[in-house]
Amino acid sequence: MHCEQVRKKLNAYMDVELSEATMEKIKIHLDNCQDCSGALTRLQSLINVLEEVSTLEVPKDFANRVLAHAYERSKGAQSMQRKHVSVYRWWSPKLLTAQTAAAAAVLVIGLAIGGVMGWDTWHNQGIQSVGKSQMAQVEPTVIYSLDYLTDAPKGSLADTYLTLASATNGWER
């Protein structure tokens, strides 16, 4: 093995991440090459420095804080699930059928009431129109209760008012 090949694999060699055969070849090279074995020594001292760095302790109560959040989340999820279930129940097929039937019944009742009321209105309109035709034959002064003025002497204030009202409304006298 050449130095260049060994240098490329030196990291994996130190981490024992190579096949046994390759490890053996590199070992033989290192035993005979000062430069490469020097590189390995430097690498090893770096690893020592990295590994000697003191361990970090997890903050006190960290696990409790995580669990408190977990319980909160779990409660939230349960209430969401309940909401989901209630919405689902509202739209469940059975209830949907019952709701449709109820809505149809309300619609039919509404239409029936509307029909009756409409018939009544139409019928009254008939009566009213009959009344109108009958009223057309009545003197306007009678309709507007001014007939008591018809006997007023000519030239009186009442006669003048009646003459004016008749001229304005086109009544015959």
Partner 1 sequence: MPMTSDEELMLAVGKGDLNAFGEIVLRHQHSAWNIAYRFLGNETDAEDVVQEAFLKLLDAAEQYRPIALFRTYLHCIVTRLCLDWVAKKQPIYTNKLPEAIDPAHTASEKLVSVERDLAVRKVLYKLPPNQRMVIVLKYYGDLGYREIAATMEVTEKAVERLLARGRASLEEYLRNFLGK
Per CB under 8 A, 61 contacts partner 1: no
- Output the smallest distance, CB 8 to partner 1, in A: 8
Q: Which is nearer to partner 1, 18 or 146 (CB)?
A: 18
Compute CA 86 distance to the chain's CA centroid, rounded to the nearest angstrom.
Answer: 16
Q: Is 74 in the site for partner 1 (CB under 8 A)?
A: yes
* Whole-number Å distance between alpha carbons of 158 and 147: 11
Among the listed residues 19, 32, 56, 93, the single contact to partner 1 using CB under 8 A: 56
Say how far apart CA 153 and CA 36 lie, in whole Å.
147
Is 127 a binder of partner 1 (CB under 8 A)?
no
- How many C-beta atoms surround the C-beta of residue 79 within 10 A? 9
Number of residues lying near partner 1 (CB under 8 A): 32
All residues at 6 or more sequence positions from 29 whose CB lies less than 8 Å from its CB, including other chains: 1, 3, 6, 36
Least distance (Å) between residue 74 CB and partner 1:
6
CB 64 → partner 1: shortest distance, Å?
9
Q: Which of residues 15-54 bind partner 1 (CB under 8 A)?
A: 15, 17, 42-43, 45-47, 49-54
The Cα–Cα gap between 16 and 13 comes to 5
Shortest reach from residue 65's CB to partner 1, in Å = 7
Cβ-contact 143, 130 below 8 angstroms? no
Q: Which stretch binds partner 1 (CB under 8 A): 7-15, 95-103, 145-153, 154-162?
A: 7-15
Check binding of 12 to partner 1 (CB under 8 A): yes
- Rounded CA gap, 36 and 24, in Å? 15
Binding site for partner 1 (CB under 8 A): 8, 10-12, 15, 17, 42-43, 45-47, 49-59, 62-63, 65-67, 69-71, 73-74
